[in-house]
Amino acid sequence: MVETPPSCWSRTNVSKRGATFTAPEKFELPFEGKLSPNNRWVIMAELIPWDDFEEEYAKLFSAEKGAPAKLFRMALGTLIIKEKLGTSDRETIEQIRENPYLQYFIGLNCYQQEPPLESSMLVHFRKRIDGELINKINKKIVKREIDKSDKEVKKKDCLQEKGEKIKIKVN
């Protein structure tokens, strides 16, 4: 069973489970500001292939039993925040509650003052998101970045080649 998204879930980028995520410039802040695309949490959110692993994560849950599952982005994002900040489970949730960048990172599309989840959920997240899954995610990120870098190099080579041909024709 998938949890019904709260009002701060985006309606722009739909994942395989129906969750939606928003671009950082469209994240709604109560003081009408905008998130900086250069913020470390925004940059990291762009690097992680959330949707590629949502389905795999969803298979760990029963549609008939228990409370609705939190989305993969919220689960993994919360664990990443905890590790990067070196905080306790409770402090991690408090940091998320206070920081719009962290709320964006876990998939919300607007700032909310209430905690998006209970600190006890991190125990469940750690049980479900194991080292093997983290390794798959890391490999996917590295592969995607290498592919992206390779495309940029090829594009530069092609542009340089065209520039040389133009110089030759002019002379």
Q: Where are the domains of the chain?
A: 1-129, 130-171
Averages of pLDDT over runs of 10 residues in the chain (171 residues) are 51 54 78 86 94 86 74 95 97 97 94 94 92 91 87 69 57 49
**pLDDT for 2:** 46
3-state secondary structure of 125: helix
For 108, left (φ over 0), alpha (ψ -120 to 50), or beta? beta
What's the pLDDT at 12?
A: 45
pLDDT of residue 158: 67
Residue 74 tokens, joined? 């919220």
What's the distance, Cα to Cα, between the start and end of the chain in Å?
A: 69
> Are 71 and 19 a contacting pair, CB within 8 Å?
yes
Residue 144 makes CB contacts below 8 A (sequence gap 6+) with 49
User: Structure pTM?
Assistant: 0.71
| pLDDT value at residue 54 | 87
Which ranges constitute the DSSP H helices of the chain?
40-47, 50-58, 72-85, 89-98, 100-105, 121-128, 131-170
Q: What is the pLDDT of residue 21?
A: 75
Angle at 118 between CA 117 and CA 123, to 5 degrees: 110
